[in-house]
Amino acid sequence: MNKNAHSKASITASTFIMAATCMGAGILALPYAFSLTGMIFGVILAIFNCITSIYVLKLLIRLAITLNAKSYEELGGKIFPSYGRSTVAILMIILTFGCLIAYCDVIADASLGFIEDLFSTDTLWSNRTFILCFFIYVIILPLCLLSSISKLEKASFIAVFLITGFAICIVIYSIMDLVKDVNKHRPIDEDIQLFNLNLNVFEALSIICLAYCAQSSLFPIFKDLKDANYIKMKKVITNSMILVGLAYLLCGLFGYWVFGINVNGDVLKSIPNDRTFNIIRILLCIAMIFHYPVIHFGLREAVKNLLYYKNKENNKLTTCQHFTLTFILTSLSLLIALILPDLDSVFSLTGALSGFPLAFILPCIYYIKIYNTNGTALEEFTTLISDVNTNTNNNEFRRDTNEYDIIDETDITSKKFEKIKDQKTKNNKYEIIWIYFLMITYSMFCIFGVYVSINEVINDIHV
């Protein structure tokens, strides 16, 4: 029996871990994103992003199995040897660093809400800079210095539970507010729009895209999945994205419904400052404190891999280097969060710069590159996957190693294989058209998103 068998994660555990990666501070900016797009258009965009995210995540796993790549960076390096690995690493750094800045903003907004209820506004505890420095250096930095992220595994489950609870509280508050309006015969807010088509839609798309971005955890989760194979990973991806999508829809839809077009980029600033919601603020603050080290771990690994790009054999940091790098990255996220206190600006810029490329554009480029240069291998893999989908009782994926499991073709008859292959070759022609569509569409979203987000950040700095 394998020694590490007990350390491998089940499908359920992997589903919650992937959901935990996505379901962070992004949920707080969803009502604002819906205010930019309108209620119905926001729902359409959120569902579209959820569906395309599920498809592209599965596509990445297919490519990884085909090329035997163990990470996103390695996959990029195998497809584009000159610059693929470093490009993914840089985008990962932008993505994770932007998330850390957003977490700092949420921690400050959440903590100030309940602290102001306990102390007067003239005390040191009501100062945003002091509060952030206290939480970052006294509580969060020691957690970030842990060498193994496994010690925070249970904390991530608690964080997901707390954030999901927050979304439910927003729904309950919205329904109660709606009942009050009906009982008092007050009209529903006329400012609520169903469709809103302007350049701000691209800012909303950047926020929604970043909220669904799970690429940073996809490969580690696949590696740690018990008896890992494509069929099981498909279930993990689908289940986790549906769970995340439902939470986002609830918070975005009902948050916009109750607060209208005046909803803040961080919905915490819009909810009432009473004792009930202050308890929710405390719980959210705790959730973000435990989320921060998890994302910081990914950032530190990305920076380390980039620094030791040419020296893969000896890339382990010394204790001094580990502390210095952790301290610098944490301090930089704190500094930028103090300069950019608006959650929506941080999320939209991060989503536009790194979310679109990592989540959609690069996977499509990778598929097109492989399809054009080695389409036969990819078609055969897709054919074999199709056969396994109809014969899930077979053990085509099972191997004795802990590497990513690949199908054994010996159990499939030649005649049946050729028949399925012909059908899948035809389907792949339609798939390549769909992938070209996704690449062009999200490239356009990325260009306009960067333009709108940069203007938004410049305005925030001037204000």
How far apart, in Å, are the Cα atoms of 106 and each of 27, 102, 256, 300? 11, 6, 19, 21
Mean pLDDT of 424-437: 76
pLDDT at 348: 84
CA pair distance 172, 289, nearest whole angstrom: 25
Tokens of 198: 């302007």
In degrees, to the nearest 5, what angle opens at C-alpha 31 toward C-alphas 195 and 104? Answer: 145
Domains of the chain by start residue, with CATH: 3-462 (1.20.1740.10)
pLDDT over threshold 80, residue 97: yes
User: Mean pLDDT over all residues of the chain?
Assistant: 76
pLDDT band at 462 (very low <50, low <70, confident <90, very high): low
pLDDT band at 5 (very low <50, low <70, confident <90, very high): very low
**Least confidently predicted of 54-68, 78-92, 291-305, 379-393:** 379-393
**Count of Cβ atoms closer than 10 Å to residue 80 Cβ:** 17
How far apart, in Å, are the Cα atoms of 132 and each of 138, 332, 347? 10, 12, 19
pLDDT, tens only, 211-246: 888 887 788 788 878 777 888 888 889 998 998 888
pLDDT band at 385 (very low <50, low <70, confident <90, very high): very low
Report the SS3 class of residue 398.
Answer: coil
Give me the DSSP letters along 222-279. HHHBTT--HHHHHHHHHHHHHHHHHHHHHHHHHHHHHHGGG--SSGGGTS--SHHHHH
Q: Name the β-bridge partners of 391.
A: none
- Name residues whose C-beta falls within 8 Å of residue 83's C-beta, 6 or more positions apart in sequence: none
pLDDT, tens only, 241-291: 998 888 888 888 888 887 777 787 777 777 777 777 777 788 788 888 888
pLDDT band at 309 (very low <50, low <70, confident <90, very high): low
pLDDT over threshold 60, residue 1: no
pTM for this entry: 0.78
- Name residues whose C-beta falls within 8 Å of residue 378's C-beta, 6 or more positions apart in sequence: 62, 63, 66, 367, 370, 371, 428
pLDDT at 390: 36
- Name residues whose C-beta falls within 8 Å of residue 388's C-beta, 6 or more positions apart in sequence: 230, 231, 394, 396, 397, 407
DSSP H/E element including 281: helix 275-307
How far apart, in Å, are the Cα atoms of 350 and each of 135, 208, 251, 299, 343? 23, 11, 21, 14, 11
pLDDT, tens only, 11-69: 887 887 788 777 777 788 888 889 889 888 889 999 999 999 999 999 999 888 888 88
